[in-house]
Chain A
Amino acid sequence: MNKPYSNTKATLAIARASFRSILRSPSAVVFTLAFPLIFIIVFANIGGGGMSIDVGVAKGSDTSASNPVYMALKKNKIMHLINDQTADEMSKNLAKGNIDAILDLKPFAPPAAMTVHVQYSQASGDKGSVLKSALNNIFYRIQSEELKRIQSYTTVQVPKLIDLKEETISGRPYKYIDFILPGQLGFSLLSSGVFGTAFVFLSLRLTLVIKRFFATPVKRYSIVLGEAIARLAFSLLGSLFIILIGHYMFGFTLIHGVTTVLNMLVLSAIGLIIFMGFGFTVSGIAKNESSVPPLSNIITLPQFLLSGTFFSITAFPNWLQYISKVLPLTHLNDAMRKVAFEGAGLGDVTHQLLILFAWFIGIYAVAVKTFKWE
């Protein structure tokens, strides 16, 4: 009875209660674990192959082993040759962009020139030019071989204008999972931080749970800290789970193993703390529970789309990239990828950390102003 009152004990009691409550709340589990995992599974499976160009081979084309153009295209992994469509189907599909080009190859019989008739489609974007340069490459090689053969009969040397030297350095293969997983991790932290925090504090306020707490000797900071500890513990476990699934099932690259995982967890914690600041703000502004989702979406959706969650922000036009480069999730994703794939330490991502720190100061300044206890 005469024991001094312990704020730590009270804080931990709240943290434990909150953690239990989060584990039992379906929306928290779905947002933090299920959604990111589903996205990872979907994108790991569709994104893996890279580019593919569908080339229709016209009926009556010469597809024999003696046709060097056909053989070269067949060996090219990007080219997907289609032989089983009628001319009518092919031209319709070409117009729709379902196939990227139609190729009509006449037999190869030097010294007569071989006729190659290619139809491209405006419907299929850049893929036509990829085929065009692949074809040019093939033609150049055939021409060079022919030239070499002619040279062997004569002493007149044709000067070589270009001496092409190609080499491929050995490197770590950058898999799509290496891109998508950090993005999904960021998204999971964002939704847990914003939606989770906003809902919990709003409902604790509206159902007078916090008011009842205030009738006990508990301090305000214990309530906020206890909730934060619980959410942090839950989200870090979630992050660890996603990283491990990604690593063991989809070959996600962790350069320095455990150190990389720890660095990623530190980044996750930093990200979550910032996103919780948005959550506190939303809980203060929202009048009732139905106004939480729209307010939270205003914060999460733009970041979800513009922060390089699914594709690199370099794919955006310049003016959009400026917006992307302001958002906190962009820098969290950036730092995550650097740490996970390039093996950077936290000291190597100070630029990203500084911007995140600026967000931390800014959002908590707003949260302190808007947060309501009653």
Chain B
Amino acid sequence: MHFYPMTKQPIITVNNLVKNYGDFAAVKGISFEVYEGEIFGLLGPNGAGKTTTLEIIETLRDKTSGSIIVDGFDIETDADSIKKRIGVQLQAAGYYPNLNLSELIVLFSGLYGIDKTPMEMLEKVALTDKAKAKYKDLSGGQKQRFSIATTLINNPRIIFLDEPTTGLDPQARRNLWDLIREIRDQGTTVVITTHYMDEAEVLCDRVAFVDGGHIIGIDTPDHFIDELVASGFERKKQVKLANLEDVFINLTGKEWREG
């Protein structure tokens, strides 16, 4: 368990954020804070407004109203300063065609205006042996790790990961959790979305539940669970000391397989 500093310094402040697409209100007045150095999870069903909220904070989408401060900069007036301080991994984003991983890192270094060697970045995500491989030839887990490498090039204060573990096998998922914790431990704030509650439970320091364009709760995973239990909730089936995923990991080994 990670203990983030007791002086909870907000690094992202979202205040009354609204986003309308024509007549459709995707985000209806969301407010929350992300603290420096934590892993913050945005949870909720598809269409709840998670990705829209993230993309507005990432300066990729215009807001309709409300205010957002990222690391002291207002998204309205200082989008460029924010871009320099954040790393963004998009859901389902591709990379420049026909280039290998090294060349893609060189490209992104140029886009961020930062001198980083490809090996230095690939080492952080254990992909040095794939330096000459094309992105499309990587496995799902390798693709996600490479995407995370590109978000780290500019030594960001915050990285945003949109459903990074979707479609990965249990080993690759655990491998990615380790990587994300490592990044957090080096002082980078992580904002993540996921559909896996077990993942949010073990990975996130705090989570916010988003539904229908509203935030309906924000707290630590432990506190949410305790509250529910205290309200008299009981699982229909008696909880055992292990679940089927534990069995899977136990049988197939913790070692993550490439490919």
Interface 1/0 per residue, B92-103 and A, CB below 8 Å? 111111110001
Inter-chain contacts of B113 with A (CB < 8 A) = 3, 5-6, 9-10, 217
Stretch in A13-21, A132-140, A141-149 with 4+ CB within 8 Å of B: A13-21
Q: How far is the CA of A18 from the CA of B83 in the complex (A)?
A: 23
In the complex, which of the residues B90, B97, B106, B107 contacts A203, with contact meaning CB atoms closer than 8 Å? Answer: B97
Query: Whole-angstrom distance between the alpha carbons of A29 and B99 in the complex?
Result: 16
Among the listed B83, B84, B96, B111, which residue makes an inter-chain contact with A21, where contact means beta carbons less than 8 Å apart? B96
Chain B residues contacting A216 (CB-CB under 8 Å) are 83, 108, 111-112, 154
Out of B60, B83, B86, B111, which one reaches A211, CB within 8 Å? B60
Q: Is residue A244 contacting chain B, with contact meaning CB distance below 8 A?
A: no
For window 1-55 of chain B, which residues contact chain A by CB distance below 8 Å? none
Q: Is the CB of A217 within 8 A of B112?
A: yes
Contacts of A255 in B (CB 8 A): none
Q: Does A212 contact B (CB under 8 A)?
A: yes
Q: Which residues of chain B are near A214, meaning CB under 8 Å?
A: 59-60
Residue of A1, A16, A207 near B94 (CB, 8 A) is A207
Separation of A21 and B134 alpha carbons in the complex (Å): 12
Q: With A and B bound together, what is the CA distance between A20 and B134 in angstroms? A: 13
Q: Does A12 lie at the interface of the complex (its beta carbon under 8 Å from any beta carbon of B)?
A: yes
A18 to B97, CA, bound (A): 9
User: In this assembly, does A24 line the interface, its C-beta being within 8 Å of a C-beta of chain B?
Assistant: yes
Query: Which residues of the other chain, A, contact B220 by a CB distance below 8 angstroms?
Result: none
The distance in angstroms between the C-alpha atoms of A5 and B113, with both chains bound, is 6
Task: Kindly list chain B residues whose C-beta atoms are within 8 Å of the C-beta of A215.
Answer: 58-60, 83, 86, 88, 90
Which residues of B are found within 8 Å of A13, using beta-carbon distances?
106-107, 109-111
Does any Cβ of B come within 8 Å of A297's Cβ? Answer: no
Task: Mark out the residues of chain B between 163 and 182 whose CB falls within 8 Å of any chain A CB in the assembled complex.
Answer: none
Q: Is A208 an interface residue (CB 8 A)?
A: yes
State the CA gap A34–B95 with chains docked (Å). Answer: 28
A212 B90 Cβ-Cβ under 8 A: yes
Partner of B111, one of A3, A18, A213: A213
B84 near A10 (CB under 8 angstroms)? no
Q: Is A10 a contact partner of B111 (Cβ separation < 8 A)?
A: yes
Complex interface bits, A18-50 against B, C-beta within 8 A gives 1, otherwise 0: 101100110000000000000000000000000
B99 touches A217 (CB 8 A): no
B90 and A208 contact, CB distance less than 8 A: yes
Q: Which residues of B contact A208 (CB under 8 A)?
A: 90, 92-94
For residue A218, CB closer than 8 A to chain B, the reply is yes
| B64 in contact (CB, < 8 A) | no
| Complex Cα gap A64–B39 (Å) | 104
Cβ-neighbour of B97 out of A16, A21, A217 (below 8 A) = A21
Q: Which residues of A contact B (CB under 8 A)?
A: 1, 3, 5-6, 9-10, 12-14, 16-18, 20-21, 24-25, 203-204, 207-209, 211-218
Q: Which 3 A-B residue pairs are closest in the complex by CB-CB distance?
A: A13-B110, A207-B94, A215-B88
Q: Which residues of B contact A (CB under 8 A)?
A: 58-60, 80, 83-84, 86, 88, 90, 92-99, 103-104, 106-113, 150, 154-155
21 A-B residue pairs with CB within 8 Å: A3-B113, A9-B110, A10-B113, A12-B110, A13-B110, A14-B107, A14-B111, A16-B110, A17-B96, A17-B99, A20-B99, A21-B98, A207-B93, A207-B97, A209-B94, A212-B94, A212-B95, A213-B111, A215-B60, A215-B83, A216-B154
